[in-house]
């Protein structure tokens, strides 16, 4: 970006199955100031996911090595797997003036908000818990056991919605995208 102003850091969270990824794809198409930080994870790729695009898929040993090398801005365990935000990319993109989105779960969000109090936090809500469950089951990417763990975690995350500066309900995709873009505009003016 031809811009001397550093970008803003956004914490972008929401329960599993809420549609964060779908909204994110549209945000990236609509606003070239936005960059998504690609996390490292120990979970297995879902069908269609590409190493380096959705995630850096790594082994537990590789993940531990990145922790030891102080390579993460934050990391957390979520439903039996580890997820972490590689530090270097985030700082580089912020310096270049991009608005960097961290698509992370509750623990990571809490850590980032302590570490970088200037980060803007957004939480995506489903229209209802029933709808969230339906979406998670329709997606059919997880086992029954994993779906149940994710649903339990979703309820915990939704009970913390108040800790985020903004909440956006994903009832209608276009409306949710528009709402997030408005937040970005407002916060980066």
Chain positions contacting ligand 5GP, by CB under 6 A = 16, 39, 43, 74-76, 78, 83-85, 103-105, 107-108
Counted residue by residue, the chain has a size of 189
Query: Which residue lies nearer to ligand 5GP by CB, 107 or 188?
Result: 107
Extract long-range pairs of 138-141: CB within 8 Å, 24+ residues apart: 139/17, 141/46, 141/47
Q: Check: CB of residue 143 under 8 Å from CB of residue 160.
A: no
Query: Which residue lies nearer to ligand 5GP by CB, 33 or 81?
Result: 81
Q: How far is the CB of 11 from ligand 5GP (least distance, A)?
A: 10
Rounded distance, CA 126 to CA 16, Å? 10
Q: How far is the CB of 142 from ligand 5GP (least distance, A)?
A: 8
Closest residue to ligand 5GP using C-beta atoms: 108
Query: Which residue lies nearer to ligand 5GP by CB, 4 or 85?
Result: 85
Q: How far is the CB of 172 from ligand 5GP (least distance, A)?
A: 21
Pairing of strands 34-36, 9-14: unpaired
Query: Which residue lies nearer to ligand 5GP by CB, 104 or 184?
Result: 104
Q: Check: CB of residue 81 under 8 Å from CB of residue 63.
A: no
Q: Which two tokens stand for residue 111?
A: 């850590």
Q: Which two tokens stand for residue 183?
A: 């937040």
Query: Which residue lies nearer to ligand 5GP by CB, 75 or 98?
Result: 75
Q: How far is the CB of 20 from ligand 5GP (least distance, A)?
A: 6
Q: How far is the CB of 33 from ligand 5GP (least distance, A)?
A: 21
* Torsion of Cα atoms, 172 then 175 then 178 then 182, to 10°: -120
173 closest CA partner among 135, 147, 141: 135
The C-alpha R_g of the chain, in whole angstroms, comes to 16
């Amino acid at each position: 970006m031809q811009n001397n102003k550093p970008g803003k850091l956004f914490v972008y969270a929401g329960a599993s199955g809420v549609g964060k990824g779908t909204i994110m794809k549209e945000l990236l198409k609509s606003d070239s100031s936005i960059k998504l930080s690609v996390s490292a994870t120990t979970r297995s790729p879902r069908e269609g996911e590409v190493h380096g695009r959705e995630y850096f898929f790594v082994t537990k040993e590789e993940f531990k090595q990145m922790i030891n090398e102080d390579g993460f801005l934050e990391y957390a365990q979520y439903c039996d797997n580890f997820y972490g935000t590689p530090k270097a990319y985030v700082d580089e993109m912020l310096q270049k003036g991009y608005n960097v989105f961290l698509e992370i779960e509750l623990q990571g969000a809490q850590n980032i908000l302590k570490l970088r109090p200037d980060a803007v936090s957004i939480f995506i809500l489903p229209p209802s818990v029933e709808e969230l469950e339906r979406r998670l089951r329709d997606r059919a990417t997880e086992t029954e056991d994993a779906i149940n763990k994710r649903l339990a975690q979703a309820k915990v995350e939704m009970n913390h919605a108040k800790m985020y500066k903004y909440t956006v309900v994903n009832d209608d995709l276009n409306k949710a995208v528009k709402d997030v873009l408005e937040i970005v505009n407002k916060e980066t003016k």
